[in-house]
Structure 1
């Protein structure tokens, strides 16, 4: 009895931490990563105590993906070790290995945990996103209200944009989870209060001024809408989509009224020193040049900044992987992403939560095509948390469909 109660506490603690991790970006990146890691540790203890005999069969079923990820780490280590700056590159490769271990562990945990733990995970995530949205809206409003060109303002807007891009990834997943929770109820659609929560999250994205986040979120919701129409559950999500449109209008009006300078700056796509796309064109050219000079293994993970003046990363995950790990690394990672895409698309038919997960992953890679570095730990943590929560909800949909 005591052992069972302890295992239940471990499962619950793990779900609380994993579910709350991504929204905790509002409190800081280190807080988010620490809570996510704590959830993984608690979950692994619960797995080893309760379901350890099932670990090997699960690992064998995912052996192709695991081997490809290990292959990518080997390529990254070789590239980094042979680079002119091996110390920093190998350190970042070690950090990347830890991140991959975290996501594999998270997926193992949600695969083996009980259904009640999966339900708790989804509930914690939705609650944490709603609370974090209110906190982030206050911070974004403060940035807009104090739109002065000084160092404090620049940091405020940078923090807001990173948060907006990250929350853009969570937006389709939130809509899918809410729709899935209402699918078996009497209402058969997202409620007004739930739609308001979706609208608040959307406003965090729109008020952030993150162009990549806004475009990626719009694309992700469009993908989710297509899935919903094709699979026949558009009626579940329509109210959330209306809330997003209203949130966009309210955000644009607030920015135009109180901070027209922000609107003007974000409409500018050229940089006098670095060229088009706000300087990204020069970063893209630099990445292509690095890859052409080191086509097989690249220049080493995290070494782009050592070769490109004025840039820390290429603002494009494909070019970053090619520049840092070469053609070999890009091909191996491409195989991982292809497998992921096939598996996510195969699960879309299960329900709106599975469709929301697929749309959120698409949103992540759309944003990664023009936003932050692919190798940032906080950025990968957003993807990994979304994968864990989405897969938990997808397994619940699969079980309910049987």
Structure 2
């Protein structure tokens, strides 16, 4: 298949419906979060996800529908979640013509336009790698990469969960005079959690991989640690991205993502024939790294965000620990011990904060009795 050739799309109308359903769900969920309806927000997400799973099973195993199932299920599920929120909150009734402001719409467009282009550019650091792999390496290698990206989504899911809370927190502190110290502290904790988490997930996946995955996919184990590292670097990019969003400096996000996409594509062109399957996650990681470096360099002009060298060194050691356990082929006992010590170190480092949080939860439970 030629590199520029698009895959056949199952149904253009269905794809458009999927886009509208996703847009509608995002609008309703963001409005729900903005109004502080956290339980309703969570319930709508559970409805969308749960219904999508049930519909997929029915359409695939019951009706034996083709690939259109991948679009029909989320379309129905997303619209169902929108309807659920609307029935509870009646948002449509709150829309009035006098609330529409041309000035505000212009400001929103100026703010969001770079984000829209940024989303397209971000594709240059993710999905395009699989087209390169398929064209230059073949379907087998592309299968290894596909599995690796799905497993690496474990990290991305955790990042998205944190991002929901961090996004709101960043906006709340964007007008605070003490936001520099707050951003710095949050980044420090974030990096510590991600570094230890990546190390633990890398080791755990390596131990469990032979149990759940066929041995014909063993090559995936060799590239998976690199994909976990790319997820870690991407997580840093997301963290800085939310600060720029809160500070209303979205242009920087566009420039940094374009730079990262350019680095990723350039490295793929240069090294994929020599580096083979390993060139794909390495190019992706370097693209994310270029993105992060540019955002860090520009951050000083927006707000000061500092890190202690001790924490950075410790995080890098933990991040490197996972691949070392995999590539050096340590035995299972050593891997489990290393993973345990890493988590123990993190818990010990944050023992004061964890104990304080535990006390707050205990007091809250007593008040609710």
Q: Report the TM-score when normalising by structure 2.
A: 0.29
Task: Indicate the structure (1 or 2) with the bigger Cα radius of gyration.
Answer: 2
Q: Report the TM-score when normalising by structure 1.
A: 0.27
Q: Which protein, 1 or 2, shows the higher relative CO under an 8 Å CA cutoff with sep ≥ 6? A: 1
